[in-house]
Amino acid sequence: MIIKILGKGCPKCKALEEQATLAIAEIGIDASIEKVTDIDQIMDMGVMITPALVIDGEIKSVGKLLSKDRIIALLKT
């Protein structure tokens, strides 16, 4: 599983990455986290507001800081 955090590195982007890391550790799945900071790549994915969470190529959240539990729920679907 590939999880992408889209954002330029703002505090919310960093916090989303931390929550995603905690979520992966809690449920023990094999996943990697990639940070996408290039604004052109972010816009090419159709995202205009960051942070954004992408799981296996599917945009799951835009413009929100999700909790660990919410990310776990998204990872299980």
pLDDT of residue 77: 82
Are the CB atoms for 46 and 59 separated by under 8 Å? yes
Cα separation, 13 vs 2, in Å, equals 17
CA-CA distance, 23 to 11, in Å (whole number)? 18
- Is 10 considered catalytic here? yes
Of the residues 10, 25, 43, 48, only one is catalytic, namely: 10
Write out pLDDT tens, residues 23-49: 999 999 999 999 999 999 999 999 999
Residue 24: count other Cβ atoms within 10 Å of its Cβ.
20
**How far is Cα 62 from Cα 65, in angstroms, rounded to an integer?**
9
Q: What is the CATH number of the domain that holds 14?
A: 3.40.30.10
Question: What's the number of domains the chain is made of?
Answer: 1
Q: What is the mean pLDDT of the chain?
A: 96
The catalytically annotated residue of 13, 36, 53, 54 is 13
